[in-house]
Structure 1
Amino acid sequence: MESLTTTSYTRSKKWTLGLIMLTVVIISWVLSSFLINDIFEKDKYRKPFFITYLNTSIFIFYLIPMVKSFIKKAIQEGSCKISDFEEIFMEYNNESTKNDEEISLTSEEEEGNPNSKLSLYETIKLSGQFCIMWYLANLTTNASLSYTSVGSQTILSSTSSFFTLLVGYLAKTETFNRVKVMGLVLSFVGVVLITKIDSDVNSEFKKTALSIFIGNSFALVGALMYGVYTTLLKFKVKDDSRLNMKVFFGFVGVFNLIFLWPSLIIFNYTGVEKFQLPSSLDVILIIFVNCLITFVSDFCWVKAMLLTSPLTVTVGLSTTIPLAMLGDFLFKGEQLSLMYCIAAALICVSFFIINKDEGEN
């Protein structure tokens, strides 16, 4: 009985920590959006694909401590072996295990071994899978803006919560119930209303029927890919204590840096995005700050997802939409209508409904 109470308390602490990290992610992503939107709106440096590539590549710096230890050991022993890197990886894993408060009961039941951490090979493999799907999700989402309106793209991207629930149900990491469906519907209605408000105050978007169909299809594929890779992480890892997060993100940066640079050349020659380095100091500073934000916030995003659930994080991130518009009101003087306040309230209520239901489960 005491063990069960302790386990429940530990789960509660983990869930709370996950929500704190999710809050950090939401605030960070809204701040990042304002910074990047500033250089996009003023047409100082409209290079979304290059910025995305750069942001992800800096994850490689997470590997610096391990690489330093590897080089030091290689110099001391006079040889350089892959097995040495694996030993260093195990040492880092053992250190993180000592710092973990307690492995959750769920992990014990599903893995059989509470200290069953992912090996170096499994971590690298997961990094490669995540990197590919993450990049494809961003690629299709950004590409959709070339064919359809921002409003349509926002609405369709918000369906990622439905895909997360569906894929999670198939992977047995989520369960269907009326409360979750009601929360998702409220969130979707809120997003639709806010997008409509945003569309009303902006210029009309005129494209052909085929172009709109292509753009909407890209947006849906991006939403589906988000649901797949978030659920994949939860399904593969299950508990945050099993994954060495720094090594995971470090190799995401390695894969992105080495294998995804050809896409920049393709985009340049096809005219999708001409390659050009930033020239002005303010743009360089904004990109640098944005890289730092991504470096911290994406780490917190995965941690929050593993500590809570993919569905909670997905719906929670929908709150970036009303928060961003609130920022427009405070810093740009844009007016907030009654409909906007209602829509924002719907999104926030949906998050609390789903979080409460997920937390109880």
Structure 2
Amino acid sequence: MIKKMVPSERALPMPFLFGLMGLMNTLLLWPLIFAFDRFHLESFVLPQRATLIAMTLNALFGTVLANMLLARAMLLASPLIATVGLSLSIPLAMLSDIVRQRAQFTSGVLTGTVAVWIGFIAVSAADHIEKYLTAQAPSCFLAARIKTRGHGGVPVRVTRGDTGGARGKSGGK
């Protein structure tokens, strides 16, 4: 939805968007804490200082930063590429474990990892091919539009290379 509603980050910077979401959560959802405590659905206890600092840092780096980077990736690429790219975190973590000699994996797990990489490369290649074909196609669509307008909206056959140029008032060649 972000990709459709926001054409570029200049129109709506990601920190501003996430700041607005945080502000709305702060203004609208805090009464639920006291309501849950009052009706014994969830007990409310202030955490210790060290726990509060750890939770704050985790929220900033583990959630806010990760979500901002994901939203930016969706604007720069596409939602599909960004989501499939997220699936690469597992093979990359496995690669890290292999390099640091912390784990050994079975051939089935390694085959699955290769399949994830192949899937990401295939989706990325398909996205680039689609963008290339879309960039090449507008001239054909423009020719078809000109031809249908020139004949009262009745579709006519458009051949390759036909730009629908003027042919004189009589319509002849």
Length-normalised TM-score, structure 2: 0.58
Alignment of 1:184-223 (within 5 A): none
Partner AA of 1:313 in structure 2: A
Cα deviation for residue 350 of structure 1 reads 1.1
Alignment of 1:54-203 (within 5 A): none
Cα distance change of structure 1 residues 312 and 266 upon mapping to structure 2, 3 Å threshold? farther
For 2:105, the equivalent position in structure 1 comes to 336
For 2:87, the equivalent position in structure 1 comes to 318
Relative contact order, higher structure (CA 8 A, sep 6+): 1
Partner AA of 1:356 in structure 2: A
For 2:145, the equivalent position in structure 1 comes to none
Name the SS of the counterpart of 1:242 in structure 2. coil
Mapped to 1, the partners of 2:36 and 2:98 lie a distance apart of 35
Q: Which has the higher helix share?
A: 1
1:253 pairs with 3, 17, 22, which one? 22
Mapped to 2, the partners of 1:278 and 1:340 lie a distance apart of 40
Cα deviation for residue 310 of structure 1 reads 0.6
Cα deviation for residue 253 of structure 1 reads 1.1
Mapped to 2, the partners of 1:279 and 1:359 lie a distance apart of 51
**Structure with max Cα Rg:** 2
Indicate whether 1:289 and 2:60 are aligned: no
Partner AA of 1:354 in structure 2: V
For 1:58, the equivalent position in structure 2 comes to none
Mapped to 2, the partners of 1:324 and 1:270 lie a distance apart of 38
Cα distance change of structure 1 residues 248 and 262 upon mapping to structure 2, 3 Å threshold? same
Mapped to 2, the partners of 1:327 and 1:261 lie a distance apart of 40
Partner AA of 2:10 in structure 1: S
For 1:156, the equivalent position in structure 2 comes to none
For 2:41, the equivalent position in structure 1 comes to 270
Partner AA of 2:14 in structure 1: M
Cα deviation for residue 266 of structure 1 reads 5.7
Counting aligned pairs with the same residue, the percent is: 31
Mapped to 2, the partners of 1:325 and 1:352 lie a distance apart of 18
User: Per-residue CA shift, 1:131-151, capped at 9, x if unaligned?
Assistant: xxxxxxxxxxxxxxxxxxxxx
Cα deviation for residue 324 of structure 1 reads 4.1
For 2:136, the equivalent position in structure 1 comes to none
Query: Where does structure 2 lack aligned partners over 5 or more consecutive residues?
Result: 132-173
Name the SS of the counterpart of 1:260 in structure 2. helix
- C-alpha RMSD over aligned residues: 3.0
Mapped to 2, the partners of 1:310 and 1:353 lie a distance apart of 15
Mapped to 2, the partners of 1:317 and 1:333 lie a distance apart of 23
Cα distance change of structure 1 residues 250 and 322 upon mapping to structure 2, 3 Å threshold? same
Alignment of 1:300-315 (within 5 A): 300-315=69-84
Mapped to 2, the partners of 1:277 and 1:332 lie a distance apart of 41
Name the SS of the counterpart of 2:10 in structure 1. helix
2:9 pairs with 217, 232, 240, which one? 240
Cα distance change of structure 1 residues 357 and 333 upon mapping to structure 2, 3 Å threshold? same
2:121 pairs with 352, 358, 361, which one? 352
Cα deviation for residue 242 of structure 1 reads 2.3
Length-normalised TM-score, structure 1: 0.31
Mapped to 2, the partners of 1:332 and 1:267 lie a distance apart of 47
Cα deviation for residue 308 of structure 1 reads 0.7
Partner AA of 2:55 in structure 1: I
For 2:134, the equivalent position in structure 1 comes to none
Name the SS of the counterpart of 2:124 in structure 1. helix
